[in-house]
């Protein structure tokens, strides 16, 4: 059996995280499968949650922050009439009632959250306050002051209703906590609510129907077809014009310095961002045009092996 050489693998894997795994667990398993430590995920999912988790490998780890910022879509089941200390059904029950409002009132309350609202990050979350994760503080029995954060829900679609449960999808900005959304809806209705399940169906351009499991990756490595699962850096930036550097600009390019326009091929008219390749054809980075100085300045570099 052959394995990828250390540092040889670069690209993005669209992983379908399974329930019971933390996002860090996924990274740990992939490090063992791919035999490289340069791996990073693009947005934490709770252990009980499932769905899309784009994972950057090798040179692509420089894209982690960029991909984490992307809009995401979730499917969730909200359980009305129950509140917990974690805002989901894994926590300790704080209150319970069978007095659930009528379906029309419930759906109206859910839809009222479409748009931008101020959301208070839950204590059981990976968000950091003064350098420490809230979840770690919560495990120590501590509660700290948090500031509400504006989040935008661009779309809420009701998928099914079987009170006290409602299944709906949410498309939202980075940093939105669906468990908190469920709790906020329950508070507005006066009966309380918590999240029963969570499935991330999209993260940026990565979709659930294209995601692969850890076992899929393991088999691909054993069968020497890992490339078929990887989205390459060239594919990520396929919408940008590709330029090759001229021989006199190669040294500047490989040192990560700005490249004078005269030291690279001519870009298409109006191009402000391009991907520049070295003389060997390898993608070195994404560059942005500085017209005043007449140079291409590095926007994102992929120099490390």
CATH of the domain at 18: 3.30.2350.10
| Residue 95 φ/ψ, nearest 5 degrees | -155, 155
Indicate if 29 and 104 belong to the same structural domain.
no
Indicate if 80 and 141 belong to the same structural domain.
yes
What is the DSSP code (8-state) at residue 304? -
Indicate if 87 and 151 belong to the same structural domain.
yes
4 lies in a domain?
no
Indicate if 85 and 170 belong to the same structural domain.
yes
Indicate if 153 and 82 belong to the same structural domain.
yes
Q: State the CB neighbour count (10 A cutoff) for residue 49.
A: 24
**56-106 per-position pLDDT tens digit:** 999 899 888 888 888 999 999 999 999 999 999 999 999 999 999 999 999
Q: Which residues contact 83 (CB under 8 A, 6 or more apart)?
A: 93, 94, 95, 96, 183, 186, 192, 193, 194
Give the total number of structural domains in the chain. 3
Q: What CATH number is attached to the domain comprising 248?
A: 2.30.130.10
Both structure tokens of 39: 């791996």
Residues designated as active site: 46
32 lies in a domain?
yes
Domain stop point among 234, 250, 278: 234
Indicate if 48 and 77 belong to the same structural domain.
no
C-alpha–C-alpha distance, residues 271 and 189, integer Å: 51
Indicate if 76 and 128 belong to the same structural domain.
yes
- Residue ranges with strand state E in 189-301: 193-203, 206-207, 242-244, 259-260, 273-277, 283-290, 295-301
The pLDDT of residue 56: 93
293 lies in a domain?
yes
283 lies in a domain?
yes
5 lies in a domain?
no
Indicate if 81 and 45 belong to the same structural domain.
no
Q: pLDDT (tens digit, 0 to 9) for every residue of the chain, 305 residues total?
A: 344 444 478 899 999 999 999 999 999 999 999 999 999 998 888 889 999 999 999 989 988 888 888 899 999 999 999 999 999 999 999 999 999 999 999 999 999 999 999 999 886 666 666 666 666 655 656 666 678 999 999 999 999 999 999 999 999 999 899 999 999 999 999 999 999 999 999 999 999 999 999 999 999 999 999 999 999 989 989 999 999 999 999 999 999 999 999 999 999 999 999 999 999 988 999 999 999 999 999 998 987 65
Indicate if 119 and 174 belong to the same structural domain.
yes
Q: What percent of the chain is modeled with pLDDT above 70?
A: 90
**What is the total residue count of the chain?**
305
Indicate if 76 and 194 belong to the same structural domain.
yes
245 lies in a domain?
yes
Q: Which domain holds residue 140?
A: 72-199
């Amino acid at each position: 059996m052959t394995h990828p050489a250390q540092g040889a693998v670069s690209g993005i894997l669209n992983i379908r995280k399974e329930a019971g795994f933390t996002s860090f667990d996924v990274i740990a398993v992939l490090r063992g499968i791919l035999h490289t430590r340069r791996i990073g995920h693009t947005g934490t999912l709770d252990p009980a949650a499932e769905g899309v988790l784009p994972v950057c490998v090798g040179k692509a780890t420089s894209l982690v922050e960029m991909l984490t910022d992307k809009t995401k879509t979730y499917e969730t089941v909200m359980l009305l009439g129950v509140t917990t200390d974690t805002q989901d059904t894994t926590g300790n029950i704080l209150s319970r009632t069978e007095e659930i409002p009528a379906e029309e009132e419930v759906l109206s309350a859910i839809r009222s959250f479409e748009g931008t609202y101020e959301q208070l990050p839950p204590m059981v979350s990976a968000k950091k306050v003064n350098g420490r994760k809230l979840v770690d503080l919560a495990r120590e029995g501590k509660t700290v002051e948090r500031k509400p954060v504006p989040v935008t829900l661009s779309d809420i679609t009701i998928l099914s209703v079987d009170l006290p449960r409602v299944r709906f999808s949410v498309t939202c900005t980075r940093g939105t906590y669906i468990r908190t959304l469920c709790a906020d809806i329950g508070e507005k209705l006066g009966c309380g609510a918590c999240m029963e399940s969570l499935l991330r169906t999209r993260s940026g351009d990565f979709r659930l129907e294209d995601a692969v499991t850890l076992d899929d990756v393991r088999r691909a490595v054993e069968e020497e077809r890992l490339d078929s699962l990887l989205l390459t850096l060239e594919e990520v930036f396929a919408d940008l014009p590709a330029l090759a550097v001229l021989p006199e600009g190669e040294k500047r390019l490989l040192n990560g310095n700005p490249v004078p326009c005269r030291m690279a091929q001519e870009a298409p008219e109006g191009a402000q961002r391009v991907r520049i390749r070295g003389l060997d054809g390898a993608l070195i980075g994404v560059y942005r045009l500085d017209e005043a100085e007449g140079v291409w300045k590095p926007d994102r570099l992929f120099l490390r092996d």
